[in-house]
Structure 1
Amino acid sequence: MNPMKALRQYQKVSSVAQTSEASPHRLVQMLMQGGLDRMAQAKGAMSRGQIAEKGLMLGKAIEIIGGLREGLDPEKTTDTESLKELDSLYSYMMTRLAQANVHSDPKMVDEVAKLLITVKSGWDAISANDQP
């Protein structure tokens, strides 16, 4: 058996178990971390000249951010202005990652990662107990 294949299978099973037991708050944290992980993997692929892998990882990061964007629920907030700003920020992040893919620009990826880290820091500061 290929040890890397076994490790990936273990990670997949572990991740499925974590998501099935996670609160909505924790799921958002996991998505944000997943987006950051894919961006880091894309940058590694860029440095190694692995164009297909770079595109795959940036595509996954874009999908994750798109999922976060789709999860914004105007019916569950009274602060619609902040929600609109976050929606615009997610849209901007997705556009920048697409541009980073076209231009193979790790600085663009860093820019988006910093933005997502800022959003994640705010989200992490919210206690899961404060969630409805």
Structure 2
Amino acid sequence: MNANRGAAAYGRGAKAYARVGVESGVMSANPHQLIVMLFDGAQASIRAARIHMQGGNIAEKGKAISKAIDIVNTGLAAALDPEKGGEVAERLGALYAYIARLLLAANLHNDQESLDQAERLLEDIASAWREIGQQSA
């Protein structure tokens, strides 16, 4: 039993350490880096959802997809500035809404193809965003 308690304590400590690392990264990041972090989080959630979908773990798949949808809707889409971004912001907003619908369909119907398509679209946007960051650095 002591080994189980030790492992549980280690797991809690590791999670706390990771959370502090993420929080420190967020606090020291510029706006461009924050968006990159949102893309990374959404993509990690989609990868986790795929693993859970393939393993038949419906509850965890749902949690992972919900997290990805939340990042897309309340992170990426909410960060758009229609006044400064104009048509580009408008089109990105429509694309983020489409990605969220794909993720919802993937969750509701265990649809691997919708999950894959959402991941590809996010990766395309993320790679363009990263390239912009490299050019401006």
Give the alignment's TM-score, normalised by structure 1: 0.91
Pairing 1:64–2:77 present: no
Pairing 1:119–2:125 present: yes
Return 100-109 or 88-97, whichever deviates more: 100-109
Aligned equivalent of 1:53: 60
The runs of at least 4 consecutive aligned structure 1 residues that moved more than 3 Å come to: 128-131
Alpha-carbon separation, structure 2, partners of 1:124 and 1:29? 7
Q: CA shift at 1:83, angstroms?
A: 1.6
Question: Where is the helix percentage greater, Structure 1 or Structure 2?
Answer: 2
Q: CA shift at 1:8, angstroms?
A: 1.7
Q: Unaligned stretches of 5+ in structure 1?
A: none
Q: CA shift at 1:39, angstroms?
A: 0.3
Q: Which amino acid aligns with 1:7?
A: A
Q: What RMSD in Å do the two structures reach over aligned CA positions?
A: 1.5
Return 54-63 or 43-52, whichever deviates more: 43-52
Count how many residue pairs are aligned between Structure 1 and Structure 2: 129
Give the alignment's TM-score, normalised by structure 2: 0.88
Larger Rg: 2
Q: Unaligned stretches of 5+ in structure 2?
A: 1-5
Aligned equivalent of 2:11: 4
Alpha-carbon separation, structure 2, partners of 1:8 and 1:19? 16
Alpha-carbon separation, structure 2, partners of 1:31 and 1:97? 16
* Per-residue CA distance 1:75-115 (angstroms, 9 max, x = gap): 223xx222211110000000110010001112211100000
